[in-house]
Amino acid sequence: MTVSRPARQGDRHRSERASLVTGSSRPRPGVLVITVRGELDLSTEPLLEAAVRAATTDPATTVLVCDLSGVTFMSCGTLSILVRARGDLRERSAGLRVVAKHPGVVRVFTITGMAEALDLRPDLATACQPPSS
């Protein structure tokens, strides 16, 4: 699914990169991966929020992985979505893991102190592994 926002007057560069692509998969039982590519900002975050909300209410999901490795920009509003998801998942003993690679995106998690709280992982393979015993 792709969501695009219209370019604003005087904003010549935004129209080329202002879209968000999402998808989901189940690499193993209990694990749901939401894959996001593009920019996460005020105009595209509602799509992420809807996907995350659906995943947090799915009883088959014991681990939700938000794969943001294809995200090139992320506003702090995305952190709010992920923190709410973590709380909703914890209420039913499920977990949240986040994958991010772009330096600017990783920096948002790091400078806000949310890298550990949101279980930031370096890659999708690591994020999809079963919990260590």
Per-residue pLDDT of 13-69, as tens digits, reads 333 344 677 788 898 999 999 999 999 999 999 999 999 999 999 999 999 999 999
Domains in the chain, please, with CATH?
A: 20-121 (3.30.750.24)
Per-residue pLDDT of 77-129, as tens digits, reads 999 999 999 999 999 999 999 999 999 999 999 999 999 999 999 999 999 99
Q: At what angle do helices 45-56 and 76-91 cross, to 10 degrees?
A: 10
